[in-house]
Amino acid sequence: MAPGVGQDEEPHLLKDLVTCDRPPISATERRFSRLLLFFEDIVKVPLFRCQHCGECILSSTAYVCSQNCPKKMRNGPCGGTGDDGSCEVYPDRKCVWYKIYYRSRLLNRMSLLYKINRIHNHNLDHTSSWLNVFKKRIDAPILFVRNDKQKVKDLESR
């Protein structure tokens, strides 16, 4: 493990920012990953327009894929969202983060929007997120959020 990674003093140290201390992906695994990705795609492409980043954060973005953003923003919208919620780059589309915000409110998952999502590991592009979760390369999805309003209050007063 590299120095600095895994040392715990303040929040948002390196280990919360990058995944360089996680197990690498082997050639055999890549083959298995491709097979798994076939099944993952059947679910995720029609439902979420999955972009195969292999580092799925769907559960913290209220099941709207953030990687459809032209700037690949993983931590909230850029400053260019139009008044009607349109994307500045493709005005015929809605801003992905505009959708994430309203869906999070609807599903009571607002507290998840405060989390700083990691810098994307491009080694995982076009691999199966399911396998990566199983292998602890990426964080497991957060399925249930309890007391969302209280959590938001705690986060804001931190």
Q: Which residue has the tokens 């015929």?
A: 92
**Radius of gyration, alpha carbons of the chain:** 17
63 belongs to the binding site for another protein (CB under 8 A): no
- Position among 8, 27, 31, 79 found at the interface with another protein (CB under 8 A): 79
> Among residues 26, 20, 70, 54, which one has the least CA distance to residue 126?
54
Per the DSSP assignment, residues forming a β-bridge with 86 are: 94
Query: Between 9 and 46, whose beta carbon lies closer to another protein?
Result: 9
How many angstroms separate the CA atoms of 53 and 125, rounded? 5
Scanning 38-46, 117-125, 130-138, 140-148 for contacts with another protein by CB under 8 A, the matching segment is 117-125
Scanning 32-40, 110-118, 127-135, 138-146 for contacts with another protein by CB under 8 A, the matching segment is 110-118
How many angstroms separate the CA atoms of 107 and 122, rounded? 30
Q: Which residues bind another protein (CB under 8 A)?
A: 1-5, 11-14, 16-18, 20-21, 70-83, 85, 88-89, 97-98, 101-102, 113-114, 116, 118-120, 122, 155-157
